[in-house]
Structure 1
Amino acid sequence: MAQADSSTHLTLKQCLDLAYANNLDLKQAELDAAGLGVDYRQAKQNRLPQVNGFIEHGNNQGRSIDPFTNSYLNQKIEYANYGASGGVVLFNGMAIQNNIQQQKLALAAGKQEIQQQKDNLSINIMNAYLLALSTADLLEQIRIQAHLSSKQVERLAILHQEGAVPPGQLYDLKGQLASDEINLVNTKNQLDAAILALCQLMNIPYNPAIELEPLPSEEFLKAYEGNAAGIYQTALNQLAAVKAASLRTESAEKGVKAWRSQLWPTLSLNGGLFTNYSSAARTAQFLRTIETSTGDYVKINGTETPVLTMRDQFDMQKITYADQFKNNYSTNINLSLRIPIINSLQGRNRIERAKIQLKSAELVEKTTKIRLQQQVEQAYLNMTATYNRYKTVLQQVDAFTESFRTAEARFNEGVLNSVEYLTAKNNLDRSMINLIVAKYDYVFRTRLLDFYQGKAIW
C-alpha cells in the first residue's frame, strides 16, 4: 500500500486525489494507454524509409570460385561483402494512413478508459466517504441518546432510593441505557469498518484517527433540478465510458479500411550500394617488353632465320583492400510494384474479421448507451424517491420531537409511566436515525446525477 498523508483530516477531494495516485487498476490503464501511444507512434513512423546495412567477412577453404574470374580455385580465400539497401513505400492503397488513424483513435479511446477508471473510482470513493460521514453522524446521535438515557437512570436511581418511583421504571430505563450502549458499540464498529473501506479504496494503510470534512448543511435542503432525459443527453457527451466506446467504433472502422487497402498494389522505391573484397583478386603489373622466338624459321638467301615476336611481361600482384573497396563499388535504384493476386484468401478473411470487430465495437457502444440511459433513469427515480422520503422523515422528526418533549415533561412529573416514555423516546430516536440515513442517501443520489453530467462531485 502507498503511504498516507501525515494529515488525518481529509476532504472528499483529498480522498479522490489519494485514490487516483495509488490505485493500481488506474496505473494499469495508464500503462495500457502508453502501449497504445507506442503503437500510434510506430504507425506514423511506418511512412519513413527502411534502411538496412550488412557486413560479411569470412574465408573459404578448398575448392571455391574466384569472385572476380568465376574460375575454380583450390586455395584458401578470404572475402568480405559490404552493402546498404533501403526502400520507401510510395503507394499502398492508403493502408499506412488508415492505420495511423486507427491507432490514433485507439490511443484516444485508451485515454478515455483512464478517465473511465477514474470515474468508477470516484463513485466508489464518494459512496465510501458519505457512508463514513453518515455513520459518524449516527454515532454522535446514538451518543446523545445514550447520554439522555444515562441522565434519566441517574434521576430515577435517586427517586428510587427515596421510594418515589417503582423499581420497574428504573429497570426499564437501565435496559434502555444498555440498549443504547450496545448500539453505540455496534455503530463505532461500523464507523471503523467504513473508514477501513475508504482507506482500502485509497490504497493507504488503515488509520482509525482519520477525520472527514463534513458536507455543507445547505446541501441537504435543496431539491434537485433537471430531468432524466436531459441528464441522459448531457451524459452522452460527458461520460468517458461513452466516449471510449465511440472512439473504439471509429477505430474499428479505420481498421476495416486499412485491411481493404492491403488488396491494392504496393509501389515502392528501392535502392542500394555494395562493394566487396577477395584475397584472390590479382592485377597484372607491366614489367617490360622482350623479344622471344616463335619457333618458326624463314629462309633468307638460303639461310634459315628464326622468327621473333615482341611479348610483354607482367607481374600478378595482389589488389589492396582499399583499392578493391573503391573499385568494386556499385549502386542500384529501382521501382517495384507488388500486386496481390492470391494469398490463401488471407486478405479477404482479415477484412471479414475486421468487419466482425467493427460490429462488436458498435454493439458495445450501443450497449453502453442503453445501460447509461437505464442507469440515469434509475438514478433519477431513486433520487426523487429519496427526496420524498427525506421530506417525510423531516416531518416525522418534527412530530416525534414534540411528542417526546411532552412525554419527557410528563414522565419527569411522574404522571407518565416508563413504557410510554420509552415508546416516545424510541420513536424519536428511530426517526432521527432515519433522517441521517435519508439525508446522506439523498446527497449520494444527487451527486451521482452530477457525475453523469460531468460536474465535480467534491
Structure 2
Amino acid sequence: MNTLKRAILFFLYILPLITHGQDSVKTHYNLEECIALALKNNAEAQKSANSSQAASLDLKQAKAALLPTLSGSFDHNINTGFSTDPITNAIVSENITSGNQRLNTNMVLFNGLNLLRTIRQQAFAYKATQMDEQRIKDNLTMDVILAYLQVITAKDALEQYKQQRDVTKKQLERLAILNRDGAVAPGEYYDVKGQFSGDQITVLTGENTLRTNVIVLTRLLNIPYSQALSFEPINQLPDVSSASLSQEALYERAAASLGTLKAAQFWKESAEYQLKATRSLYFPTLSLGANLTSRYSNADENRGTYMDQIQDNLGKGAGLTLSIPILDGFRRRINVSRAKLELRNAEIDLENTENNLQQQTAQVLINLQTAKEKYLEIREQVEAYKESFRVAEVRFEAGDINSVEFLLQKTKYDQANISLVVAQYEWQLRQRIANYYNGQR
C-alpha cells in the first residue's frame, strides 16, 4: 500500500513537469524567428563560425612566433660497476648517481621580415574567413526567406483550393436535387461532379505541397518536422509607390554590406602577403641564443648537497647564429611560384566576384520590377474574372448557360486567384531580396 501511495505521489509530482515540457515546445514561428533559428542551428553556419575561430588561432600563432623560445631538460642516471666519472672522466668501479640540467632560449632577430609578413597574411585570412562566415549567413538568410514564403504561398494557395472546391460543392448539391427531380440534363450534373473530384485532387495536391515546403524549411532551421508547426502569414505588401533603386547605388550598398565581395578582397590581400612572406625566405636568418647548464654527481669528492652542486657547476652561454640559404633543391623558388599562382587565383576570384555582384544587383532590380508589375496586372485580372464568374453563376443557376460555359468561367477565376497568391508572395520575396542587397536586415 505504501508503494502504491509513493507511486501516485511521484506521478502527481512529475506530471506538471512533463506537461510544462510539452507546452514549452515552440510550434508557431514568424519570419524573423525562423531566420534567427537557422543562423543558430544550421550546420553550415556553425561550421563557418568554427572556421573563423580556427583562422583566429592561426593569427595568434603567427604573432606568438615573434616571442623567444624557451626549453628546459633534466636527466638523472644511475651507473653500477665500471663507469666513467662525469666529473673527472676517470674509469671508476663504484655506483654513481649523476644528472644534467639545461635551459635554452632562442630568438629570431631577422629573417627577411618573414614573421611580420606572415602575421599580415594571417590577419587578412582571418578577416576573409569572417566575411565568408557572413556570406554563408547571408545566403542562409535568403534561403530561409524563400522557403518561408513558399510555405506561406502554399498555405494561402491551399485555402484558395478549398474555397474553389466549396463553390463547386455548392453547385453540385443544387444540381443533385435538380437531377433527382429530372429538372436538369444529367450531363450538367456529371460535369460539375467531375469538376468537384478534380477540385478534391487539387486540394490533396496542395496539402502535399504545403507539407513538403514545411519540411524544406525545417531542414534549414535544423528542427524536427511536425504537423503541428505553423507559420505566421505576411499580410503587408510592399509599397506600390516606393521609389525605385538605381542599379549603381544597389551595387555599392551590396558591396559594403554583404560579405561576398569583402571576402574576395581580403583573400587577395592575404595572398599578396603570402607571396611576400615566401620571398623573404631567400634572406639569411639571424638568431640570438642563450643557455644555462649544470650537473650533479655523487662521485664528486667535494660534493655538497644537490643544490650546492647545481650552483657550483653552473654554466652560462650566449651566441648569434646566422643561417644562409644556399641550395635547398629549389624549394624556395618553387614555393614562390606557387604563391604567385595563388595570388593570381585570388585576383581572378575578386574580379569574378565583382562582376557577379554587379550582375546580381541588376537582376534583383529587374526581378523586383517584373514581380511588381505582374502582381498589379493579375490583381486587375482577378477583379475582372470575379465579376465575370458572378454573372456566369447567376446565369447558370437560372439555366441560361450550360455547365461547360459555367466551368470555363470558374476555371478562369480560380486560376487567376491562385496566380494572384503566387504573384503576391513573389513580389514579397523580390522586395526582401532587394532590401537585403540594400543593406536592410
Residue in 2 that maps onto 1:277: 296
Residue in 1 that maps onto 2:29: 10
Q: 408, 411, 422: which is aligned to 1:437?
A: 422
Unaligned runs of 5+ in 1: 284-317
1:349 aligns with 2:368: no
Distance between the aligned counterparts of 1:326 and 1:84, measured in 2?
14
Distance between the aligned counterparts of 2:54 and 2:268, measured in 1?
19
Query: Which residue identity does 2:385 align to in structure 1?
Result: F
Greater shift in the superposed pair: 267-276 or 158-167: 158-167
Unaligned runs of 5+ in 2: 1-21
Name whichever structure is richer in strand by fraction.
1
Residue in 2 that maps onto 1:58: 77
1:201 aligns with 2:220: yes
How far residue 42 of structure 1 moved from its aligned partner, in angstroms, is 1.0
Aligned residue pairs: how many? 420
How far residue 205 of structure 1 moved from its aligned partner, in angstroms, is 0.8
Residue in 1 that maps onto 2:355: 370
How far residue 201 of structure 1 moved from its aligned partner, in angstroms, is 1.5
Distance between the aligned counterparts of 2:290 and 2:26, measured in 1?
66
Greater shift in the superposed pair: 431-440 or 63-72: 63-72
How far residue 240 of structure 1 moved from its aligned partner, in angstroms, is 0.8
Q: Deviations over 1:326-350 (max 9, x none)?
A: 2111212223333333322322222
**Superposition pairs for residues 29-428 of structure 1, below 5 Å?**
29-60=48-79, 64-73=83-92, 75-219=94-238, 221=240, 225-283=244-302, 320-428=305-413
- 8 Å CA contact retained: 1:9, 1:210: yes
SS in structure 2 opposite 1:382? helix
Name whichever structure is richer in helix by fraction.
2
Q: TM-score, normalised by structure 1?
A: 0.86
- 8 Å CA contact retained: 1:232, 1:373: yes
SS in structure 1 opposite 2:238? helix
How far residue 4 of structure 1 moved from its aligned partner, in angstroms, is 12
Distance between the aligned counterparts of 2:97 and 2:23, measured in 1?
69
Q: Deviations over 1:265-290 (max 9, x none)?
A: 3232221211112233224xxxxxxx
Greater shift in the superposed pair: 321-330 or 195-204: 321-330
Change (3 A) 1:320 1:194: closer
Q: Deviations over 1:133-191 (max 9, x none)?
A: 01111111111111111111122223334443222222222122111111111111111
- 8 Å CA contact retained: 1:220, 1:439: no
How far residue 258 of structure 1 moved from its aligned partner, in angstroms, is 1.5
Change (3 A) 1:32 1:5: farther
Distance between the aligned counterparts of 1:350 and 1:362, measured in 2?
18
Query: Which residue identity does 2:106 align to in structure 1?
Result: G
Q: Deviations over 1:369-391 (max 9, x none)?
A: 22222333333333333333222
Distance between the aligned counterparts of 2:359 and 2:228, measured in 1?
39
- 8 Å CA contact retained: 1:4, 1:205: no
Change (3 A) 1:64 1:353: farther
Change (3 A) 1:222 1:438: farther
How far residue 236 of structure 1 moved from its aligned partner, in angstroms, is 1.8
Distance between the aligned counterparts of 1:414 and 1:221, measured in 2?
42
Change (3 A) 1:197 1:20: same
How far residue 453 of structure 1 moved from its aligned partner, in angstroms, is 2.4
Superposition RMSD in Å: 2.2
Distance between the aligned counterparts of 1:164 and 1:26, measured in 2?
67
SS in structure 1 opposite 2:212? helix
Q: Deviations over 1:5-26 (max 9, x none)?
A: 7232210111111111211111
Distance between the aligned counterparts of 2:414 and 2:306, measured in 1?
103
- 8 Å CA contact retained: 2:237, 2:424: no
Distance between the aligned counterparts of 2:420 and 2:295, measured in 1?
92
How far residue 67 of structure 1 moved from its aligned partner, in angstroms, is 3.5
- 8 Å CA contact retained: 1:55, 1:80: yes
Distance between the aligned counterparts of 1:136 and 1:435, measured in 2?
13
Distance between the aligned counterparts of 1:165 and 1:182, measured in 2?
26
How far residue 117 of structure 1 moved from its aligned partner, in angstroms, is 1.6
Structure whose CA Rg is larger: 1
Distance between the aligned counterparts of 1:63 and 1:351, measured in 2?
57
Change (3 A) 1:454 1:128: same
- 8 Å CA contact retained: 2:29, 2:230: yes
- 8 Å CA contact retained: 1:404, 1:428: yes
Identity of matched residues, %: 37
Query: Which residue identity does 1:253 align to in structure 2?
Result: E
How far residue 401 of structure 1 moved from its aligned partner, in angstroms, is 1.3
